[in-house]
Amino acid sequence: MFYKFLKFIFYFLVALFLVTAQLALINYPWFSFLRPNLFVAVISAIMMRNSHGQIVWFSFCLFFMLDLFSANNFGFYFFSGTVSTLLIYWFFKELFSKQTIWSLILMITLFVLSIDTIYLFLIYLLNNFSLVESVNYFDFFVKMLIEIFSSVILGLLIYLSTDLILKKINKKYIIN
């Protein structure tokens, strides 16, 4: 029981650190241009490392805290992030049977696409009720492609650096 409590505290502190890091990095010009999604990269790397259902609760806590500290309407990040994590976790358990770098790239791409699609749907829905401003769709899709590219690179760096730390790198991650 005490071990589970310590594990919860550890995950909570990691989530708090990630939210703080994401919000602190927004002010830098290179970060606002590249827009790497730190949450997607970390959740995908953790999911590739050990595939258990606690990652869904971790992302629930992570996106909830992000929603608390963001300037958007409450629920945008929380709903889109949690639903996307459930979707990607299901894909990972059922479809991505081999844990290769290619499956990590595909998982991060689908993760960002699902988060941004749900986010765009919520904006479109609330725009019909005149609750939010309209979005320039061309800029949104260009930023989404940049976010996919930078999140894949960041996710690969996180995954490979944890492999180097754990000394488990070999050829089976690249070609299976």
pLDDT at 59: 84
pLDDT at 71 over 80: no
Which band of pLDDT confidence, cut at 50, 70 and 90, is reported for residue 60?
A: confident
pLDDT digits (tens, 9 = 90+) for 29-48: 666 555 667 778 888 888 88
Query: What pLDDT is attached to residue 70?
Result: 74
- For residues 58 and 17, give the distance between their C-alpha atoms in angstroms, rounded to a whole number: 13
Residue 65 CA to residue 171 CA, distance in Å, equals 38
- Distance, CA of 84 to CA of 38 (rounded, Å): 15
Average pLDDT, the chain: 78
pTM of the model: 0.78
Residue 113 burial class via C-beta count within 10 angstroms: exposed 0-12, middle 13-18, buried 19 and up: middle
pLDDT digits (tens, 9 = 90+) for 106-138: 888 998 899 888 888 888 887 777 766 777 888
pLDDT for position 31: 60
